[in-house]
Chain A
Amino acid sequence: METLRRLGEATLALLTAVGRLSLFAASGIFHIFKPPFRWKIVLNQMIEVGFYSLPVVGLTAIFTGMVLALQSYTGFARFSAESAIPQVVVVSITRELGPVLAGLMVAGRVGAAMAAEIGTMRVTEQLDALKTLSTNPMSFLVAPRLLAGLVTLPILVAVADVIGVMGGYLVSIYKLGFNPATYLHNTMQFLEVQDVVSGLVKASAFGFIVTLLGCYHGYHSKGGAQGVGQATTNAVVTASILILCSNYVITELFFSR
Chain B
Amino acid sequence: MTSSVSISIRNLHKSFGSKHVLRGINLDVKTNESLVIIGGSGSGKSVLLKSILGLIEPDQGEILIDGQNCLEMSRADRENLMAKFGMLFQGGALFDSLPVWENVSFRPLVVEGMDRGEAKALAVETLNKVGLGAEVADLSPAELSGGMQKRVGLARAISSKPSIIFFDEPTTGLDPIMADVINDLIRKSVNDLGATALSITHDMASARKISDRVAMLYQGEMIWEGPSSDINDSGNDHVDQFVHGRAEGPIAMPVLKG
Binding site for B on A (CB under 8 A): 117, 120-121, 124-126, 128-136, 140
A124 and B93: CB pair below 8 A? Answer: yes
Interface residues of B in 94-111 (CB under 8 A from A): 94-97, 106-107, 110-111
- CB neighbours (8 Å) of A121 from chain B are 95
User: Which residue on A lies nearest to B91, using beta carbons?
Assistant: A124
Q: Does the CB pair B79–A128 fall under 8 Å?
A: no
Bound form: Cα–Cα A97–B55 in Å: 44
Q: Determine if B53 is an interface residue (Cβ-Cβ < 8 Å).
A: yes
Residue from B91, B93, B96, B106 with most neighbouring chain A CB atoms (10 Å): B93
20 CB < 8 A contacts A-B:
A120-B96, A124-B91, A126-B96, A128-B53, A128-B55, A128-B93, A129-B89, A130-B95, A131-B53, A131-B54, A131-B55, A132-B55, A132-B82, A132-B86, A132-B87, A133-B82, A133-B110, A134-B107, A134-B111, A135-B106
Q: From B87, which residue of chain A is reached at the shortest CB distance?
A: A132
4 shortest A-B CB distances, which residue pairs?
A: A129-B93, A125-B93, A132-B87, A134-B82
Query: Do A126 and B95 contact each other (CB < 8 Å), given the known contacts A131-B82, A134-B80, A134-B83?
Result: yes
Chain B residues 44 to 98 lying within 8 A of chain A, measured CB to CB, are 50, 53-55, 79-80, 82-83, 85-87, 89-91, 93-97
Known: A126-B95, A130-B95. 13 other contacts (CB 8 A): A120-B96, A125-B90, A125-B91, A128-B93, A129-B94, A129-B95, A132-B55, A132-B85, A133-B107, A133-B110, A134-B80, A136-B79, A140-B110
Kindly list chain B residues whose C-beta atoms are within 8 Å of the C-beta of A136: 79
Within the complex, the shortest CB–CB distance from B166 to chain A, in Å, comes to 8
CB distance from A172 to the nearest CB of B (A): 46
In whole angstroms, how far apart are the Cα atoms of A10 and B228 in the complex? 53
From A126, A128, A132, A135, B110 is in contact (CB under 8 Å) with A135
Residues of A within 8 A of B95 (CB): 121, 126, 129-130
Whether A135 contacts B111 in the complex (CB less than 8 A), given A128-B55, A129-B87, comes out as: yes
CB proximity of B207 to chain A, nearest CB, Å = 22
Residues of B close to A134: CB separation below 8 A = 79-80, 82-83, 107, 111
| B91 with A132: CB separation less than 8 A | no
User: How far is A117 from B98 in the complex, measured between Cα atoms in Å?
Assistant: 13
- For B79, the closest partner residue in chain A by CB is A134
